[in-house]
Structure 1
């Protein structure tokens, strides 16, 4: 891949990019694309986020964007990052930096005008590729093109030092390998294994964000298996064990067979035993909705069938349960959860007194409606007549 230029990918023609790169004087080498957009374009993958590195100081970036009529938001200006919005296109613009000090969680940076110095502080060689916006020329100081061709995730410099600077790089190493990797880099693997306990110093939110992305990466099954064997999860999610990995593998097979997209919360539910789901969700500080889903995903599937399960547990919850139990979720795909076509007022109109009898009878009607496969309103009316008659008879005999 040596000597390559940036492909003419569709994202390069997004509205506003010409104005943005002109405002930052890309013609004289003051702005270059960097990171994921360059890496993914070279791999022929779709590009989502755009990052532009510049030698201009943050205040100069803001001034230049304003002069060009481009809106800017100081999203991380203390660390050199300004969000530019040009004709609706969003780009993160970051001034070249070097690390002054790091503690494994945060970095104190100083601004720079040295491109190689900026590249040297990045994590992996494939993420330290820069591209001229006009000519597409690739700038590569650390063998990133060669590693990209080999599908090898490799730290820039000494892996132990890079992990000491930011402990999250342990999880990022495995996540990037699960997404892009082929043969794993032995030096990186050894360092991540040796320093796994460093993860304990990180916030659980940062750990959760990386872990959930990793679980749905294309190579997640092999990488999660490797991570469990190497003890990577033990410091932060000790509930993940060999049994969980076996369930994870089975789930991935079931998802593929049913043509259901991989889902991070469902896959996490496979990795941890049901009795540990609540504790894991709380420790990782998942949202309330994700915690609830994690706990309910292993709730069993019953014997009413997938549509009944979909009605009672919701389609998403039912798909989770079926896949985790080795069932077939395909009847639920594209199915819309119906609404019971009768309410309590209709039962009162049939002579049932207001109160607990109405709720009890409505549940009985709903159970029969579900058991009969959700018949139309005419059949439900007949079921209602029958159930109301039984309720009235039971009241008279009590």
Structure 2
């Protein structure tokens, strides 16, 4: 199936042409092609973010050619054939054509090649094994990648079991690409292989797993992919705390935030949430957000006065997370709109008194100052943050102290 990406602005951009001209000057017109995501997304009418290229040039020759042309080059993964060129501020990842020599399910030993078909054969999915030359002509070594891209099919290159055994992260990538690009039902053979080999995911680093999972959850609608993960047992193996599928389904319709979607998927039990965050080695800030969100839902029917008190004590982000979790769990889409609007527009006040005002009320500085301020704050919040009468309130609190 013939195809072209010649209409893409990134293809003809001066920064891109500078990179192509530098490499072609060293290796000829057929030494370099765009590969993977940029070609796939162009064919699918989706935004192209990263520009990756494959080349017949060896890494050292690639670097020399770029440097000769005055371009900045960084050896980002030179042992595996990858360097990054920077042209007019834009990065271009360039990798020498490769074939796998051996793999342990996590890391591969590669050998360089000049054969485009060999390079394509080691890639994960047929729609990612697409190449385009400097004129935008698309090359499809598997013979089915272009059609897969146009039809939204996520199909492994060759035998699914072989591709997965090379790198067990491809199980998660199968579901992630289905979430972002798939249409219809997942590929049957790929789905079966993911289910049969899911135990191999224990070999993966937690950082790789969590990165892939969060990318999946950030898809416009990850629900079909997550359902497929659940049906195959992959989700239970990856995230045994994911016991709220109904809440997750609702949450996807409420927000595109992958962390909040993960929160809805997880149990409401904080120890389980902490265990999941630890296993995935999530950043501390993300772990803390998940724990705070699971600390108790805010009923969407909460009145404005109570809501303001919660916003003050929890902070706006945690308040919003808890409101949305409650909405998802109760399956009442739209019920929390008023509370979320209140949180967005209400200017949270600062405590209007401090140690100086307590001293003016007649209490010498000391350990009782904190006690008085805490009591003042509780009353101030309970009275819905009045703006007057602070001196009188402090004086009464001081006078009520024993002794």
Deviates more, 1:48-57 or 1:357-366: 357-366
- 8 Å contact 1:14–1:89 — kept in the other structure? no
Distance 1:335 1:128 in 2: 51
Over 3 Å counting, the alpha-carbon distance change for 1:248 and 1:384 in structure 2 is: same
Match of 2:89 in 1: 88
Match of 1:283 among 255, 270, 279: 279
Distance 1:356 1:18 in 2: 70
- Map Cα deviations across residues 16-39 of structure 1 (whole Å, 9 max, x no partner): 221111001086111111111111
Over 3 Å counting, the alpha-carbon distance change for 1:79 and 1:335 in structure 2 is: farther
- 8 Å contact 1:364–1:387 — kept in the other structure? no
Question: Where does 1:140-219 land on structure 2 (aligned, <5 Å)?
Answer: 140-142=140-142, 143-183=144-184, 184-219=186-221
Over 3 Å counting, the alpha-carbon distance change for 1:332 and 1:148 in structure 2 is: same
Match of 1:394 in 2: 400
Distance 1:15 1:308 in 2: 56
- 8 Å contact 1:361–1:387 — kept in the other structure? no
TM, length-normalised to structure 2: 0.89
Deviates more, 1:112-121 or 1:294-303: 294-303
- Map Cα deviations across residues 307-347 of structure 1 (whole Å, 9 max, x no partner): 43333222222211111011622332365544334433233
Distance 2:364 2:10 in 1: 65
Match of 1:37 in 2: 38
Distance 1:248 1:111 in 2: 44
Over 3 Å counting, the alpha-carbon distance change for 1:341 and 1:123 in structure 2 is: same
Distance 1:342 1:16 in 2: 58
Q: Are positions 1:299 and 2:305 aligned together?
A: no
How far did residue 373 of structure 1 move? 5.0
Does the residue aligned with 2:234 lie in a helix, a strand or coil? coil
Match of 2:332 in 1: none
Match of 2:239 in 1: 237
How far did residue 193 of structure 1 move? 1.2
- Map Cα deviations across residues 48-94 of structure 1 (whole Å, 9 max, x no partner): 11111111000001111110111111110000010111121111111
- 8 Å contact 2:43–2:150 — kept in the other structure? no
How far did residue 236 of structure 1 move? 2.9
TM, length-normalised to structure 1: 0.90
Instruction: Give 5+ residue unaligned stretches, structure 1.
Output: 256-260
Does the residue aligned with 1:51 lie in a helix, a strand or coil? strand
- 8 Å contact 1:301–1:309 — kept in the other structure? no
Match of 1:23 in 2: 22
Deviates more, 1:274-283 or 1:263-272: 263-272
Distance 2:341 2:138 in 1: 46
- Map Cα deviations across residues 178-231 of structure 1 (whole Å, 9 max, x no partner): 111112211111111111111112111111111111122123112212211221
Distance 1:201 1:148 in 2: 30
Over 3 Å counting, the alpha-carbon distance change for 1:336 and 1:226 in structure 2 is: farther
Deviates more, 1:300-309 or 1:159-168: 300-309
How far did residue 15 of structure 1 move? 5.0
- 8 Å contact 1:102–1:165 — kept in the other structure? yes
Over 3 Å counting, the alpha-carbon distance change for 1:9 and 1:311 in structure 2 is: farther
Match of 1:273 among 264, 267, 270: 267
Does the residue aligned with 1:82 lie in a helix, a strand or coil? strand
Distance 1:88 1:337 in 2: 41
Match of 2:341 among 330, 340, 351: 330
Does the residue aligned with 2:238 lie in a helix, a strand or coil? coil
Instruction: Give 5+ residue unaligned stretches, structure 2.
Output: 328-334
Distance 2:107 2:64 in 1: 28
- 8 Å contact 2:116–2:141 — kept in the other structure? no
Deviates more, 1:119-128 or 1:303-312: 303-312
Over 3 Å counting, the alpha-carbon distance change for 1:6 and 1:336 in structure 2 is: farther
Match of 2:330 in 1: none
